[in-house]
Structure 1
Amino acid sequence: MKITRRIFFALCTLIFAALACNLPQANQSTSEPTQEPATTEESVTFNIDEALTLAVQTIQAATLTAVVPTETVTPGPSPTPPSTAPTVSVSSDTNCRTGPNVAYQFVTLFKVGQTANVVGKYTPNNYWIIEYPGGFGATCWLWGAYATVLGETAGLPEGVPPPLPPTATPAPSAPEAPKQLNLACTSVNKSKKVGQIWILAWEWTVEFTWSDQSTNENGFYVYKDGVLLTTLGPDNESYTDVFTQTLIIGDVSYTYGVQSYNDDGASALKDATLSSCP
């Protein structure tokens, strides 16, 4: 508004100045005026037109400048703050594996005092899928028994366990030899008189026991004094030998042995010796 008033006053001043050029001079001579050249009137008229044109151009420029609208900036929506992934820590050092089971390969030991981002879960086995420290974004499966998770976990995806690694087939081998051999004996007097002759005899019952050390045996060979006494099936750990001992003169001893066997061979023979029977 102030700019328009200034322009208006400037225009009026220019117009008044132009008109004043056409007014008679106060000290003009009364004698017959000498005829002025035609170019004088044209010059005055040209100056008036030029002044008016300049004034109009000034007003137009000012008007264009004054009416330029101001751009209105409409604020956009506020940016959504980035979501924070839940984190996990443990109260006891815990193995982190390639899947939710001890059958999966070990990846790293997640220690007390460490934290990691949780990116998934496996509810059936209570496992968390984490980005383990030092893995540069790689993940492993952490058992949740000692884990404490901070943050929202409802939206975490349920993990799909990878296939179990193939179980290594053990190389064929003979079974392990039995251990902890033991002999226990009881006797019953079976002596009797036949006519005028006494036949002295005792019935011995020998309990031969051992501890099975293998899981791949087909059975056991049981020996007495180096001679095969019997063959037993797998998982046996004892044999009872009952026999009659006739007249005993001097010391008598018996050696019992046992070995396990399978299609790939037999174990070492283990034995124990019995020297008396109460």
Structure 2
Amino acid sequence: MSAPSAEHALPFPDIDPIAFAIGPFAVRWYALAYLVGVGLGALYAMRLLSRKSLWANNAPPFQPAEAWDFAFWAMLSIVIGGRIGYVLFYNLPFYAANPMQVFNTLDGGMSYHGGMIGLMVAGIIFTRHKGGNPLSTLDLLGAVAPIGIMLGRLANFVNAELYGAPTTLPWGVVFPTDPLQVARHPSQLYEAALEGLLLFLVIRFVTHIAYGLRRPGLVAGIFAIGYALSRIAVEFVRLPDEQLGYLYGGWLTMGQVLSLPILLGGVGLVVFAMTRKPAIR
């Protein structure tokens, strides 16, 4: 069945990708998503860190006020890791031939998986400097990360990028950047709902009802499993990057390949955490 024509699909909302401009300086919603995501993440992290009873031995990985110090680290690590990840995983031949383009972030090339690795490394280094438990910091990051993911995917939708394959479903959207102008899966919204909102609610239950932070590594593992399964599922209806296409015979995407080790790592963390006695108050 062919994809519905533009007049039978949901219209793309009339939202300018540029949030505001001051003279020649323009601020895009995508940049604001990063800033607001880190800011809200720091606020939520402060609330979690201040509830010492949630943590193993009443010992959060660092003090609540230090969440704002780490927010600076987080912003740098996400941007640097995301950019390096995109260069290595998604378009290495191009950047090998044009090395100065690595620093041209105006092309929008960022990899979530690279940003995740950068954030994890920054969290471990920061926590070791503070004398805390790095596993507990990974749990903290797993608890707050869905906030940023949801905002980032919403910004992808506003930018009309990373959209899905053609669909005949009634909620198909015609994106203004699509040269074919056919209805497509709003895969950005799928990811915002699954990797963002739903995963946040699941982890909120684990942290506050099941006291999962008392088992270092558990929340980080649940986040990794939830993210990886959601990303792998959505990739089946999301268009792959044009320069890569489908891999391994035309049925896997790079996003799915990179999510598999995250899934396995998450399972390993959950097994590790659940085979150890939980700390109590």
TM-score range relative to shorter protein: under 0.3
**Rg larger in 1 or in 2?**
1
- The TM-score normalised by the length of structure 2 is 0.15
Q: Which has the higher helix share?
A: 2
Q: Which has the higher strand share?
A: 1
Identify the structure with bigger relative contact order (alpha carbons < 8 Å, sequence gap 6+): 2
